[in-house]
Amino acid sequence: MNILRKIFHLSPIGIQIYTRKFILKERRFDYQKKFVQFKVKDGDKVLDIGSGGSPFPYATQLVDKYPEKTHHRYEKFKTNQLPFTQADVEKLPFEDKTFDYVYCSHVLEHVANPVQALNEIQRVGKRGFIEVPTKMSDTIFNYTRLGDFHKWYINKVGDKLVFIEYNENELRDTGNKELFFMVHSLLTNSFKRMFHRNRDMFSCFYLWENEIKYIVIDKNGNIISK
């Protein structure tokens, strides 16, 4: 019975297969290209920060803080035979404007100091793309229960990224993993279809050139940089 419970989950819409071994994970680029025109040019030097197990297809250089196994990544780390540097986004070991394009996906919600991270990204790059999960995504999928995981939730307001630090009340177990199981099920269901049609509601996509505009607000409501 315990084994069956690990494989099947009874829900109002029936039995859902959700064991992580069975997940058919969609690569980030697969859904990003439906919503974003990257406009990477031939010959561009392209840095992927936080490349993980699925490097940006246009990347010419990779950076990741955790090439080893980490709870921040479910995939096995890959370089696809591209040049790789182990480094933190808050301290990138490159000269100013080394890269024509900087791609940074699902990294900034984790950082200790987003001001430093954003300043480093625009220091080493001329333009680029940032993706971060929305608060709705963190809450619906109950990622808020995970310790040492997401420190910030981020919205795009006009041409700015607005970082807000999670407070202790927000970082809690909602007591429901049902929607996480549904979206990762091998069986189709209405929630899974809705999620894949509306990825831009669950992720914030931000394209920038020359400058990243942002505001950072701590958990007490203080604007710590803008």
Residue 60 token pair: 């010419």
Residue 74 domain-assigned? no
pLDDT attached to residue 76: 80
Residue 10 pLDDT greater than 80, yes or no? no
Q: How many domains does the chain have?
A: 1
Query: Does residue 111 lie in a domain region?
Result: yes
Nearest to 120 by CA among 47, 198, 201: 47
Higher pLDDT, 68 or 162: 162
- Asked whether residue 84 is assigned to any structural domain, the reply reads yes
Task: Judge residue 36's burial from the number of C-beta atoms within 10 Å of its C-beta, 0-12 exposed, 13-18 middle, 19 or more buried.
Answer: middle
126 assigned to some structural domain = yes
Mean pLDDT of 188-201: 92
In order of 20, 100, 166, 211, the CA distances from 96 in angstroms are 41, 11, 32, 13
Asked if residue 73 is part of any domain, the answer here is: no
Give the ranges where the chain is alpha helix by DSSP (H). 2-7, 28-35, 114-124, 135-140, 178-183, 190-197, 199-202
pLDDT in tens, 164-190: 999 999 999 999 888 988 888 878 889
**List of residues 6+ apart from 18 with CB closer than 8 A:** 7, 8, 9, 180, 181, 182, 184, 185
CATH for 22: 3.40.50
> What is the pLDDT, as a whole number, of residue 115?
97
Distance CA 48, CA 71 (A): 20
Please state the rounded mean pLDDT for residues 123-134.
Answer: 98
List, for residues 140-162, the tens digit of each pLDDT value.
Answer: 999 999 978 999 999 999 999 99
Range of the structural domain that residue 64 is part of: 2-68+80-225
Q: Distance between CA atoms of 67 and 77, rounded to whole angstroms?
A: 6
pLDDT digits (tens, 9 = 90+) for 22-64: 455 678 899 999 999 999 999 999 999 999 888 999 999 999 9
Residues 6+ apart with CB under 8 A from 52: 64, 73, 75, 77, 78
Selected residue with higher pLDDT from 9 and 222: 222
Residue 146, Cβ neighbours under 10 Å: how many? 13
- Residue 50: predicted pLDDT: 95
Q: What is the pLDDT of residue 72?
A: 63
In a domain, 75, yes or no: no
